[in-house]
Structure 1
Amino acid sequence: MQILKIDHLGIAVNSMEEGKQFWTDVLGLEFEGDETVAEQKVNTGFFPVGESEVELLESTAPDGPVAKFIEKKGTGFQHVAFRVPDIDAALAELKAKDIKLIDEKPRIGAGGARIAFLHPKATGGVLVELCERG
């Protein structure tokens, strides 16, 4: 499987406004905007850093995956996303290696990217996202 780069780091926050304060006021990163991904019950905020970005994740529902993550582990680092050139080929390769996947098929994420998550039980406890951008 070819990994092109780290696409983004996902950071779970209770509030987008509170989360933005640290990344902009303290670190000086520019807030590029936000987007709601209704299917995943999350509002995402983007802070470009070189060729990658920090993505803040604010749950839009108490039963959303980010809300569940925060309830279990607290706010902070939630996932790492790797950019791949062909997500279908990457998933096929991982399936052939018997890697446990959350997403057997890609779905649409923020920015229209095709994404899929690997199960943390298969990655040493880290939630890994694969991301293909057109």
Structure 2
Amino acid sequence: MSALPTHLFDALDHVGIAVADLDTAIAFYEDTFAMTLAHREVNEEQGVAEAMMTVGDPAAPHAHIQLLAPLTPDSSIGKFLDRSGPGIQQLAYRVGSVDEVSKVLRDKGLRLLYDDPRGGTAGSRINFIHPKDAGGVLVELVEPAASPDPH
């Protein structure tokens, strides 16, 4: 079994919130909470349209609120909305290596949803801890895309 590192997670990356209409949700978070849209994309593989809303000063280190709208009613977010209504769908932690953290968690007996990490928002790599192994919470592991070398 792998030795437990001093920490597995580098930071809180985002909280995912399921919404029925992405444009309406973006407007609400901008107008009501003064958050700014950092990134928006469609993830066909996961069946969602998503928007990352910046919490706090965009120039400072920050976390995001990820708004998730289903592309189809039978997508995971569509099913979540049907079952639970709009609201918090996941908690995501930033990790240095999704492969290494996944191995440590598997060695501890936790189930991950994917055998190998998949593509996430803005070129990140992701995996999820099964909610039954994480206190009823869907936990996402996010390895951000490598920053381009400025030189």
TM range (shorter): over 0.9
What residue number does 1:16 align with?
A: 22
Contact 1:46 1:53 in 2 (8 A): yes
Please, what TM-score do these two structures have when normalized by structure 2?
Answer: 0.85
**Structure 1: 5+ residue stretches without partners:** none
Distance in 1 (alpha carbons) for counterparts of 2:97 and 2:36 = 30
Contact 1:91 1:104 in 2 (8 A): no
What residue number does 2:3 align with?
A: none
Contact 1:41 1:60 in 2 (8 A): yes
How far off is 1:100 after superposition?
A: 1.7
Amino acid at match of 1:117: F
Residue of 13, 35, 38 corresponding to 1:7: 13
How many pairs align? 134
Report the RMSD for the aligned CA atoms in angstroms. 1.1
What residue number does 1:107 align with?
A: 118
How far off is 1:110 after superposition?
A: 1.1
Please, what TM-score do these two structures have when normalized by structure 1?
Answer: 0.95
Amino acid at match of 2:137: V
Amino acid at match of 2:9: I
Bigger drift between 49-58 and 116-125 goes to: 49-58
**Structure 2: 5+ residue stretches without partners:** 1-6, 57-61, 147-151
What residue number does 1:94 align with?
A: 105
Higher strand fraction (1 or 2): 1
